Amino acid sequence: MARWQPDAPGRLAAAALDLFEEHGYESTTVIEIAERAGLTKSTFFRYFPDKREVLFGGGTVAGLLVEGIASAPPAAGPLDAVAEGLEALGQTFFTVERREFSGRRQAVLNAHTELREREALKRIDLTASMIEALDRRGVPSLTAHVAAKLGSLVWEIAYDRWIDTDNSEDFGPLARRALAEVRAAGAVC
Amino acid sequence: MARWQPDAPGRLAAAALDLFEEHGYESTTVIEIAERAGLTKSTFFRYFPDKREVLFGGGTVAGLLVEGIASAPPAAGPLDAVAEGLEALGQTFFTVERREFSGRRQAVLNAHTELREREALKRIDLTASMIEALDRRGVPSLTAHVAAKLGSLVWEIAYDRWIDTDNSEDFGPLARRALAEVRAAGAVC
DNA sequence: CCAGTGATGGGACTTGGTCTCATCGACCGG
DNA sequence: CCGGTCGATGAGACCAAGTCCCATCACTGG
């Protein structure tokens, strides 16, 4: 028999989301999170560098997106390459099982500035990753910057719609549609 | 004779920037900042909600930008309206006197994740302000989103170049040029 | 002379976050 | 069966950020 329950980080994240929903982010203590997960403060900080990060565990996202961009057909334009990356993300990360969790998580995020701040940083770092990936495709720097910013916007729009409970479309098609809309809007700027 | 030295927030901000440059952000204490400014921790937190915010005092920026966008000629397209806003900013906020301070401040910001994170949040909030301002001009939502994102990119590029010590051009012209480049890059996405 | 006001100081208190050391079952070689 | 190592966890001291409440004290107007 195992000495410890499995998946400590997962239990911590789940406990945290529950408590944040129940009492709000600021009013719940790291100690409370750890206790609900059957652990202690020490262990919490062993897995997460700070309290906010417990809601940002999935660090594989950037990697998947970058891979997707890299493996787009060489002839594809920069924005199409980003679309390819988003598509890849939709198939491996934004799966149906993750949808409900993502929605709950996002509601908590939107409600607390401290968490929105962390989200903002993640988005910027992600945009930087996209720029790098495009750079490796030979896209000129400025074009890469523009494509990454637009790609980030496409992501936001598609993600919002994907989370929306009235909706049950997969992430991939949503991203494709959002991309087309953004492109059309960009043409009239 | 005045009972207190004038401009407590300004003294705190100056002291903070000095100390951050000397010892780094994390290794300098709020108490140290306050002491160098001839004040106390209590007073520091009376003027700034947290330690990071001491480097983000100029809260008028968003207002100026929004005004500039609002007062652009009605015929101007969304991105041109944003350019108008940036121009306004260049004349009232990004003045020559502020250039050296901005450069020092930016160097500190770039060196510390915690500060980059706050900057990321400010940028997102600013983008939201731009979207609102464009919305009030009757720009359709999606177009406003695209224009705001591109405007934010133009801001970044122009600001970088403005700070660059090899350069001494004013912010307005730099923004104009950056806008043209971004537009050209956008056309090939 | 006196009461009110406003910027500041002082200090207790909570919590996030770091660090170091102790614990203890599992596993492994003999 | 035995002893030692390993790896995940616990315990608790410690520091700094941030909150709160109350004291201080010059200035002001009546």
Listing DSSP states for A55-81 in one string gives: G---TTHHHHHHHHHHTS-TTS-HHHH
Nearest CA among B142, B147, B128 for reference residue B72: B147
- pLDDT one-digit tens code per residue, B97-109: 999 999 999 999 9
Kindly report the CA angle at B109 between B106 and B113, in degrees rounded to 5?
Answer: 155
- pLDDT one-digit tens code per residue, B45-58: 999 999 999 999 87
- pLDDT one-digit tens code per residue, B148-171: 999 999 999 999 999 997 888 999
B81, B69 Cβ separation under 8 angstroms: yes
Tally the residues of chain A: 189
Q: Is residue A1 pLDDT above 60, yes or no?
A: no
> What is the value of pTM for the model shown?
0.95
Residue A33's pLDDT band, with cuts at 50, 70 and 90, is: very high
Residues of B from 19 to 58 whose C-beta is within 7 A of strand D: which are they?
28-31, 41-42, 45, 49-52
**Mean per-residue pLDDT of chain A:** 95
| Rounded-to-5 percentages of helix, strand, coil across chain A | 75, 0, 25
Mean pLDDT of B8-32: 98
Helix then strand count (H, E) for chain A reads 9, 0
B177 touches strand D (CB under 7 A): no
Euclidean distance between CA atoms A146 and B90, whole angstroms: 23
Question: What are the structure tokens assigned to A158, written together?
Answer: 């598609």
Euclidean distance between CA atoms B50 and A42, whole angstroms: 26
Nearest CA among A144, A167, A155 for reference residue A89: A155
Question: What are the structure tokens assigned to B124, written together?
Answer: 């997102």
Rounded to a whole number of angstroms, the distance from the CA of B147 to the nearest CA of chain A is: 7
Euclidean distance between CA atoms A32 and A18, whole angstroms: 11
Percent of chain A clearing pLDDT 70 (strictly above): 99
Euclidean distance between CA atoms A142 and B17, whole angstroms: 32
- Residue A52: which nucleotide is closest by CA–C1'? C16
Selected for mutation to probe chain B from A121, A155, A183 (highest B CB count within 10 Å) is A121
Nucleotides of D under 7 A from a protein CB: 8-12, 16-21, 26-27
Pairwise CB contact (< 8 Å): A185 & B140: yes
B152, B83 Cβ separation under 8 angstroms: no
